[in-house]
Structure 1
Amino acid sequence: MPQTDYYKHNPLIHRDRRLSKSSSEWVRSFSCEDLKPLIVCRGPIRKEAMDVYQEMGISHYGILLSEKDSIVYPNALAPELRQLTDSNRVHRVPDYSGASKEERVERINQIIGIAKDNGYDSIFAGYGFMAEDEEFVAAIEKAGLKFIGPCAATQARAGKKDEAKRTALLVNVSVTPGVDNVTARTLVKKHDSREKLLALVKAEGLECDAKILKDTSLSLEALADHILMTSYAKGIDLYSIEELCAQVQEEVAELFRKYPQSRFRLKAIGGGGGKGQRILGASLLGTKNADEKAIAKAAAEAPAMVREVLQEVKANGVGDNKNVLIELNIEQTRHNEIQLLGNGDWCISLGGRDCSLQMHEQKLLEVSVTQEGLQAAIAKAKAEKKKDEVAALESDLKVLQRMEEESARFGQAVGLDSASTFECIVDRDRHYFMEVNTRIQVEHRVTELCYSLKFTNPKDKNDFFIVESLVEAMALLAQHKQRLPKPERVVRFNASVEARLNATDASLSPHAGGMIRYWSKPIKGEVRDDQGISMLNPDTNQFMKYKVAGAYDSNIALLLTKGEDRLCSYERLSEVLRSTTLRGSSLATNLEFHYGLVNWFLGRNVMAKPTTRFVVPYLTLVGTLKEEANKLDVVYAFFQMKKHYAKLVTEQFGDQPDVLAKELKNMSALLDRKGTLITRPMERLLDDPHLLSGWLSINTKNFKIEKGKVIWLRNPLGVLRDTYEYLHMDFRPHKPAAEIIWDHDQELLKQGLDFSRKIREHFGLHKDEYDKLNEILHKDKPQGGFDQEMWDQIRSAHYGFEVGLEMLGMLFLIGENTKFWDMKVLDDLEVVIPDYLTDLDLQARMKKILVPPPTTKADEIVAVCGGMYYGQEAPGLPPFVSEGMHFEKDQPLYIIEVMKMFNTIRAPFAGTLDKIIMEGGDGTIVQKGQPLFKITPDEKFVEVDPALIEKEKRERTTTYLKAVL
């Protein structure tokens, strides 16, 4: 059976969850076996909830399926159904949350109806869809059902980003500068006196609190805010989206003046998972004294962004709360969050997670940050006398302690009665509260691997039970809320890390529609959370193909590891990623990105402090590796190397024709025997820049470059062996030859390594002392007690095993020529990002290097990716383009919705749109490369001669080869 179940198949972390089986009467009283939950979320959290509930002894649970899961997208049927075979416990709706406000209300009623009609007493919404929907939770509570998550009152106080920020200010929690009441300011702009606002209340028949209306001490904005709340309850708008957009534009212009050289983030008060957020002001980032014209131009971006934000979170309907936060975007910032758990009376923090490695506001790699882990890292750094690292880690520890204290205080203030996450941005030794996610997080496992919860009988300290799952804790809270004593957090591991395996291409752009046809089994110790995709067919024991549909988010699975320290957890994650094989058709994932990234940190320092700005420059750097790698021809290099050695032999034996013929033959045979041994891994690395990035990083200390020449500091045979292992091409008899080192290459490599080891041991040298061994073996006079004949044979064998391996050094030159090592980690753990990698034009160009645009005719514009097409910014607005119009470079042409994210696609060049050839209107699903428009470009495109490209490639390869031979 595949080990996809975190709890069942990992003996390190499994405990019996059936509290009813305990010998303690007090423990048995907390049994949840009579809980009857309906699971209304999807993805990995749905299957996790199913597994946990089953292990808790909960037998009456059901799941909700969207038609998009099972009908709209063939082969996207929920794989959990292989486990849940009772059709009476599977319920269907058209879409989980609806496409509009009306559909959302309809869905809420439908879900509650399904629960009541089928005997469910509670609803679990996981970390998506309606998990943070105050209206949904309130309706559930009103219907007499339990919500397994924070109650409606907590959702109101903490779930909406504007309310949470105001609460944070009340309880002395640090917040980011900005504006949290732009809708109130919009209303005051429209009705600019107390009398006018009161007249509005009367005219619209709003049911406002009389005490608030009579309180003349209230500011106009506070009064307007209360009036707006009543208008939302009535389902009417008191301002238009255009008026809101104008107010946001005015506010950001003022903020640009107040905070020069800054960008600002627009955030819908709902949303999550990166949805409903945009950043504006990039053009002012490097401008010290921006004039009013530049400020106005930057602020003019706001209206379009506001519409996109509201559309993404479905808050653009009549009566929706359209408030948008405007926050200073602190550039050099890390994204840290604290896991919280409460029962309404007590609130406990469970350490932190660093989620700074993200892109498109979507987290990619999440790392545990705990006091115990940092204390251990500090002790280790002190022992190694790393003073700067000690200071940096001690600063982090102080910040974490403050965040944990503030988060628990905030949770207490809002009456937190389930799991939530307190999110902060950290700027060196300062932190700012950002928002609270009133739900369980995707990365909650990171915390579970570090801490368990010990609930102890207040009357008997020896009477207790352990909870290791936040999903289980949420069920316990829903069933026994006030009775649960405040738990003690118990350390399990000092470190853990999670990689989100997403359906994205090499540039991390969403890539929907791929079919998974094979997924390797998890290795020992791997924690793999998927929704059952890798679970085999229970009847045939065969893998079942699964389509990664574009209807929802891009996540395929969560891959986690743990360890005694961060280095151990990273090394284990590297092993997991290396061992993971995913195959399919039209399938693209970020597996190689993660592998390269994890090894980048392993080669530098896993305790590094990357900011939220790290990933895009890092991708740009990887793009430069690919651009340079594209200029090399490994096979051509190999044959040129053979000519080089033939020339050397000829120079040595040119006056001895018979000897020359023999030596040339021997040299040719020697190199030919190594051909595939050297070229196969090199071609693999040159083909995938993410793999090359990780390889260059972990080999940083194995070479140096002097006067343009590569000097090896470690035996290249050892590096080659490790390269095969790094690429998962090392010898494994059960694997096909195409995926591993070939038999004859394996034998040759083994012979060379055995020889080198014996010689090194003979001279009493460590494996890292290759330079000393090389120096010894370059001496003509016998060393180490050998006679001349044996010494000549040893030197000849050494030369024979290593000749040709110089070609590997070409990879180091790629790193040198792309300034790969300029992006580095300093002694104080800060990450240096070279300025050139932040250049927007370079970033855009490298994105196209990583994933070349789809091939197109000179008179067409095609879809850049698959997804849902929209030709206008929002319903009711004019289309971006029309037939016959002229468009400029960077002008918006259309929007593609992929994985719930709206991407505005801009013109790559200027031209005239002759004809719209896409069939269907807004909401039509298009495929990557599908022709959308017939156009006439302003400039004629000139095709490059392939022969010229090949000529330049060979010249570049020759230049590289000269530097290693």
Structure 2
Amino acid sequence: MFHKILIANRGEIACRVISTARRLGIKTVAVYSDADAHAKHVAMADEAVQIGPAPVAESYLKGARIIKAALQTGAQAIHPGYGFLSENPDFVRAVEAAGLIFIGPSASAIKAMGLKDAAKSLMLEAGVPVVPGYHGENQDPDFLADEADKIGYPVLIKARAGGGGKGMRLVEKPAAFKSALQGAQREGQASFGDPVCLIEKFVSHPRHIEIQVFGDAHGNAISLFERDCSLQRRHQKVIEEAPAPDMPQKIRDAMGKAAVEAAKTIGYSGAGTVEFIVDGSGPLREDGFWFMEMNTRLQVEHPVSEAITGLDFVELQLRVASGEPLPVTQDDLSIDGWAFEARVYAEDVPKGFLPATGRLDHLSFPEAAEFSRGAIRIDSGVRQGDDICPWYDPMIAKVIVHGPTRGAALNMLSAALAQCHVAGSVTNLEFLGALSRHAGFARGEVDTGLIGRDLDALSAQAAAEPYVLALAALGGLGLLGPAKTEGPWDQLMGWRHWDDAQHFSALGADEDRLEQRVTMRDQGHFQVDGNGHSVTLEVSALGATSYRVLCDGAVFSADVVVLPERVWVFVEGRSFNFSLPDALADAQSDQTGGDCIIAPMPGLVKVVSATIGMTVAQGDPLLILEAMKMEHTLTAPRDGVIAEVLSSVGEQVTDGTVLLTLEPQDD
């Protein structure tokens, strides 16, 4: 076994690898960009080496710098995590040429299966069913458009080196093909250094089911069963589960056998995932699944498979890479219970899951725990006080639960998500909570179109009840506080010598004005009037930010987090935030109206299609901004004429930057 390894990654997966290495007595070396100098994975590692500026192309994709750091620190091996260089055969060769061990498959295996087009060709030769499409080298846009016509719309454009939904576009009409191809190629180049794309038929009512495989250098390969990753948005997974619902044993065996044969065909060693598209329009059948791709690395969703098998996959990776045979055989394995994983992101769901930035001023998760009938696990690469920056994926955490049955595990997931509180950035937590309670999902009726079909209901923002407004006012006025001791003075929360009511003014999330009048009737007893409602509350502190609330006969718990110029209220799995109005910002907003196209987040300007004097219609694409490793198209807010172009391709802009302006509208 190794005595020291370097992790060529960041965030949650780096922390995950460090945790297992520490348990095994292996020292770790972290690498970091300038933006990650104070990151959690850097603090956890035994040593850390700076490798470059914030952009991944200048830091985490610089293989030579990473190898140099490993040699300088005396590391014996490099763990790539996922993404970045994890599926780059040239990096594997360079690692081995330097006398180090790559904790993953061989360069030849990555080359054979890591690129989607090569993998599909190999599977076709092996007789494995493959989704119809074009997987060749010709990247001429007219040629690919003709191929899409032959395949028949809708089609999927996929960067062959892609993953995590990056470099992927669903195209439903021929007129949209070429612009979608350009976007997929740009993302493929930016994220993976490879712009080559393939075209596939889009399967109606598809389910995304993948088989976890492991191989070793002794010719052994096993299947660790399946995961269902069908709940997706923008082709990115949202909630994963293991095993797959309604999976007949004969289909499980058939898919597992195909995946293992694929691994053995290329002499695969280490962790890998063979992904299949499955026809979900009816019961699963043996002729209803098709090979899609193989990920020659550990997957983001690996914890659900760990939960149902009882194995630590990072430990298996380390043992296999050090030359040991797999410690288990196929006959040793069985499925124990059910597991779910939900990905918590900093993103604005009502705005189309737009990635968000912000400082995590308050971060609270349910405590990881093992129960006789289940478990909760939180994997995260951030801490309270950290910033979500525009350079990297905006994942905050993974919430993983394991229970004896699917129903029990799903109830645990819903409860765990309700206990996750994040202040300082918008998140998808409420969306995840709604998805965990979705009736069709609870019945196991899952396919990749579920979220899209029910998006309005899943992303609906509930109005704040009067008691929520009242709690915001109490927090904003400083009338709430933690119970510090059992002494009477510390228990007098909100006590002061005043008789007159206090007034609280703020803005809600939709810029709705909040006006509240607070009167304290007794210690911890308040009457709050405003916005057409009157409520009485009795509030007692349970912790630093948590409170027991008695409101009009109902008892519940709530968390109230007070930040500079903003108050957050968390209750029953929902969050609300209120800010003091900024008169200057309001004045500027009134002046600009709908005449400006403003950067919604920090990012890199990739495409500017507007020119001065151009006539545009509402919704016309004007500019493409790259942020969080994804492209975002900014469109015209109204009909008009372009007055100014204030940004250029290659320019790095900040949140709120005016990029384009329209000529003022006539009165």
TM bucket (normalised to shorter chain) is: 0.7 to 0.9
Alignment correspondent of 1:209: none
As a proportion of its length, which structure holds more helix? Answer: 1
Q: 228, 234, 250: which is aligned to 2:146?
A: 250
CA contact (8 A) 2:344 2:395 kept: yes
Q: Distance in 2 between matches of 1:895 and 1:516?
A: 27
Conservation of the 8 A alpha-carbon contact between 1:512 and 1:867: no
2:90 maps to 1:90: no
1:915 is matched with: 644
The within-5 A match list for 1:475-874 is 475-481=318-324, 486=329, 488-491=331-334, 493-507=336-350, 509-523=353-367, 524=369, 525-533=375-383, 544-584=384-424, 587-601=425-439, 606-622=442-458, 626=461, 734=542, 740-742=548-550, 745-746=553-554, 857-858=592-593, 860-863=595-598, 865-870=600-605, 872=607
8 Å contact 1:35–1:479 — kept in the other structure? no
Evaluate the alpha carbon distance shift between residue 177 and residue 731 of structure 1 in structure 2; reply closer, same or farther with a 3 A threshold.
farther
Matched, 1:133 2:8: no
Output the CA distance in 2 between the equivalents of 1:485 and 1:569: 26
CA shift, 1:91, in A, is 0.6
Q: Tell me the equivalent position of 2:489.
A: none
| Match of residue 120 from structure 2 | 165
- Alignment partner of 1:268 is 2:183: no
Task: Give deviations 1:588-630, integer Å, cap 9, x for gaps.
Answer: 11111111111224xx56242221111122222346x55xx77
Q: Which residue of 2 aligns with 1:935?
A: 662
Find the counterpart in structure 2 of residue 337 from structure 1. Answer: 210
Greater percentage in strand? 2
* Partner Cα separation in structure 1 for residue 510 and residue 437 of structure 2: 17
Counterparts in 2 of 1:740 and 1:329: CA distance versus 1, 3 Å: farther
Within 2, Cα distance between the matches of 1:316 and 1:182? 19
Quick check: 1:316–1:322 contact (8 Å CA) kept in 2? no
Higher relative contact order, structure no. (Cα contacts within 8 Å, ≥ 6 residues apart):
1
SS of 2:322 mapped into structure 1: helix
Distance 1:687 1:571 in 2: 34
Task: Tell me the SS of whatever aligns to 2:151.
Answer: helix
Determine the C-alpha separation between the residues in 2 that align with 1:605 and 1:245. Answer: 39
**CA offsets 1:678-707 (integer angstroms, 9 cap, x no match):** xxxxxx99999xxxxxxxxxxxxxxxxxxx
Is 1:67 the counterpart of 2:22? The answer is no
| Corresponding residue of 1:411 | 263
Following the alignment from structure 2 to structure 1, what is the Cα–Cα distance between the partners of residues 116 and 538? 51
Contact 1:97–1:129 (CA<8 Å) still a contact in 2?
Answer: no
Q: 1:26-81, CA deviations, whole angstroms, 9 ceiling, x for partnerless residues?
A: xxxxxx2x34211011111111111101111113x2011112323xxxxxx31234
Matched-pair contact (CA < 8 Å) for 2:232–2:238: yes
Q: Is the 8 A contact 1:503 1:556 kept in 2?
A: yes
SS in 1 for 2:162: strand
Q: Percent identity?
A: 27
- CA distance in structure 2 between the partners assigned to 1:485 and 1:498 by the alignment: 25
The match for 2:635 is 906
Does residue 47 of structure 1 match 2:2? Answer: no
AA matched with 1:568: A
Give deviations 1:441-497, integer Å, cap 9, x for gaps. Answer: 000000000003xxxxxxxxxxxxxxx211110000100155867465444632000
Task: State the AA in 1 paired with 2:158.
Answer: K
Alpha-carbon displacement from aligned partner over 1:351-399 (angstroms, at most 9, x marks no partner): 11111111111111001116xxx6xxxxxxxxxxxxxxxxxx3x64433
Contact 1:343 1:484 in 2 (8 A): no
Helix, strand or coil: the match of 1:301?
Answer: helix
Q: CA RMSD in A?
A: 3.3
SS at match of 1:560: strand
Instruction: Verify: 1:363 aligned to 2:221, yes or no.
Output: no
User: How far apart, CA to CA, are the structure 1 residues paired with 2:40 and 2:97?
Assistant: 33
Distance 1:909 1:311, change over 3 A: same
In the alignment, the residues of structure 1 paired with residue 106 and residue 155 of structure 2 have an alpha-carbon distance, to the nearest angstrom, of 32
- Partner of 1:424, secondary structure, is strand
Deviations 1:169-225 (A, max 9, x none): 122211100111042xx6xxxxxxxxxxxxxxxxxxxxxxxxxxxxxxxxxxxxxxx
The 1-side partners of 2:429 and 2:590 are apart by: 25
1:151 CA displacement: 1.1
Q: 1:343 to 1:613 in 2, by over 3 A?
A: same
Corresponding residue for 2:276? 424
Change (3 A) 1:104 1:595: closer
CA separation of 1:620 and 1:182: change in aligned 2, threshold 3 A: farther
User: Greater shift after overlay, 34-43 or 300-309?
Assistant: 300-309
Aligned residue type for 1:40: A
Structure 2 CA distance, aligned partners of 1:45 and 1:408? 25
Over 3 Å counting, the alpha-carbon distance change for 1:52 and 1:505 in structure 2 is same
> Residue 620 of structure 2 aligns with which residue?
891
Contact residue 224 and residue 333 of structure 2 kept, 8 A: no
CA distance in 2, matches of 1:531, 1:69: 11
Counterpart of 1:911 in structure 2: which amino acid?
Answer: G
**Matched-pair contact (CA < 8 Å) for 1:350–1:489:** no
Deviation at 1:553, TM superposition (A): 0.7
Q: Distance in 2 between matches of 1:483 and 1:449?
A: 18
Contact 2:599/2:654 (<8 A) preserved: no
Unaligned 5+ segments in structure 1 are 1-31, 71-76, 187-243, 257-261, 284-297, 375-392, 453-467, 534-543, 636-683, 689-728, 750-853, 873-878, 942-965
Q: Deviations over 1:89-108 (max 9, x none)?
A: 201111588538xx888x22
Change (3 A) 1:263 1:730: farther
The code of the aligned residue for 1:263 comes to P
Preserved CA contact (<8 Å) 2:15 2:40: no
Give TM-score scaled by structure 2 length. 0.77
- Distance of aligned partners of 1:731 and 1:328 in 2 relative to their CA distance in 1, 3 Å threshold: farther
